[in-house]
Structures are given as C-alpha cells and as structure tokens.
A and B are shown apart, each in its own frame.
Chain A
Amino acid sequence: MANCDVLISQDIERNCADPYIKGVERIGYAVNRSEIDFSAVEFKSDNELKSLPLVTGAKAFSIYQPGSKPFNGVTTTLEEGEITVVANHSLPVIILEDSPEISANFIDKLMNGGELVVILENKAKKLTDTSNPGGAAFKVYGYHQGMVLSEGTLDKYSDDTNGGWSLTLAESGAPVSGMFLNAGSYEATKKLIESLL
C-alpha cells in the first residue's frame, strides 16, 4: 500500500478570462446513498467521479430552491481530525410545503437515518478550461459519509421560508475537500444527471 502523496502541484492564480463567481444554481439532485452501485462507480481522479451509477430501479430526486440565493448557507469547513484534517459539509434546504407527503416521503426518512448524496451545480463552472472544461460545474456532497439530517425547523410565520420547512443536511469527516461529478464535459455530465431522474 502506497503512502499518500502530500506534495502540492498547482499554482494559485486569478483567472480573469473565466472569473470565479459565487453561488449555485436553483436545482440540486439527491440520491439515496444506499442506492448507489459503488461497485460500478468510476473515478476520473481522487476528487472527480466519472459516473454515479445507481442500482437497478433507483432514481434521483430534484430539489428546487426558490429565491435569489438558492441553497443559501451551503458551506464546507475544514477541521483537524484525529489523524488528518477532514471536511465537513453543511447544506440548507428550504421546503415550501407542509404536508403528509413531504413528511412521509422526505423528512421522516431522513429523521430515521436516511443518507443522501446531493449534487449541486456551481455557477462557476470553468467551462473555458481547455484541460478540463466544465469540470468544476457539478459538486457532490455526501459521497463518502452521506448527508444526514442535522437540524430542521418548521416556522409557520418565518419570512425566510414563507412558513415552510428549513432543513440542514450535513456530512462530517469527509476525507477530501471537494468531490465533483465530471463525465468528461459539461454536456456529458448534464446528460448523466438527466439519466438519474
């Protein structure tokens, strides 16, 4: 077994041709982590999944977020672990609904230990990067440890949620700072995600 390579290998520069911008797109995609066919997952690099195959009959679910700042509060923090520094991801989700269906089919599943893998589309996609076009577009949260429900609130008079649910999904102790989904190009990854729905 080889030891991990710990030598950095890239300059940190500012790309004025394709400037970095904040935020993510309005639609995310969630899959039940237990329905990923891990035996068939292909990696492009340590931080890039080339595919995200699901077991037969499984599918992804879209998460649409309203407002001008979708998934506002999505963060990754790094903290010192026992052996290495680990990454913790936090992902707020607003649900503009309070119904038996949303309780039974979504929230209660997470309350009882459901683990998700969530794909968000960054606004900064690096589409002009000739070596890896669109490689930064789709970020995967929860691949290693799963996104689990860490807190949730239903405040019927909240202006922030229009009286709906506010949930926070979290992954603790991920071994890499970021995981991306990249089937080879932005177009290919979009098609991959379509095939999940």
Chain B
Amino acid sequence: METTAERILELYRRGGGYTDTERTEIEAHSVSVLGRGVRKCNCEDRWRDAVIEIYMVLKRNGQITFDMATKTLTAADRKYVLKSGVVLEWKGKYYTRVNLTDEVAAAYLEKFPTAVGRFDAVPALPKKESQKEAPKEN
C-alpha cells in the first residue's frame, strides 16, 4: 500500500488534472498534513497548490527524500544513470534518470554512441573482437 509520501509524490509529478476522487483524497491529505483543508475558491489551481504545499511539508520533514523524489537507484540496481536535467527520446517516449531502464539506455547508446556524455554512469563496454589483446605467444 502506498504511503502518504509516495501518493503525494505521484500527484505532485502529475502537476494537475486531478479526478474528483483524487480531489477528495487531496482534501484529506491537506487536513492531515497541513492541518487545514484545500482553500476555497473557484480557481482550478487550488488542488495543485495544495499538493505542492503538502509535498513541501513532507519534504521538509524528511518523509520525501531526495532519492525518493528522483528515484535514483544505486549502481547495484542500475548500470546506466542519466544526468539530472537531460531527457532522451526513444521510440516516441521520453526518458529521464527517473524512468530510464538499462535496456533503453543500451539501445539508445548503440544507436547514438556520442550521447554517452549525457550520462553520469555507463557500464564498461565489452571490448570488440578487434580491440581485444592478441594472445601472447609462448
């Protein structure tokens, strides 16, 4: 089950367009985290503003950590890590360090090898046959 922090992070990333059910949920989170409901006005932004306020309080309290917010995985979990502030477009989808998979990264770099500078980490590539050291003669 998602924690409040995980749920708010998800809503924060969406940045708006919340359903009626989600609005009810935001209202409840606002009361429990901020101690008050979503502000009353006819402005559409009030739901997004409430999510941002809740997000900031949770972040300040340490309930949303930097790692959670960026979903940065450790090297043990992921071999390819894109730099923050870089987007890759691959087969009609956008990838950042948040959602990039090793498979997509490997395929992208195979097609665009010069894009390696956009990554914080890439695994050492296996040497091609032609680059391998010649066996020593006895």
Which A residues are within 8 Å of any B CB, using their own CB? 26-27, 31, 36-37, 39-40, 42, 51-54, 56, 58-60, 62, 64, 183-184, 187-192, 194-197
Measured between beta carbons, the chain B residues less than 8 angstroms from A26 are 45, 49, 52
Judge whether B26 is part of the interface by a CB distance below 8 angstroms.
no
A-B contact list, 30 entries, CB within 8 Å: A26-B45, A26-B52, A31-B85, A37-B83, A39-B117, A51-B118, A52-B85, A53-B84, A53-B85, A53-B86, A53-B118, A56-B83, A56-B120, A58-B84, A59-B66, A60-B84, A64-B56, A183-B94, A189-B87, A191-B87, A191-B96, A191-B98, A192-B96, A194-B13, A194-B96, A194-B98, A195-B87, A196-B85, A197-B69, A197-B70
Tell me the complex Cα distance, A188–B52, Å. 21
Question: Which 10 A-B pairs have CB atoms at the shortest separation, nearest pair first?
Answer: A195-B96, A53-B83, A52-B85, A183-B87, A54-B84, A192-B87, A51-B86, A53-B85, A188-B94, A56-B120
Tell me the complex Cα distance, A190–B133, Å. 46
CB nearest to B85 among chain A residues: A52
Q: Interface size on B (CB < 8 Å)?
A: 24
Binding site of A, secondary structure by majority: helix, strand, loop or mixed? mixed
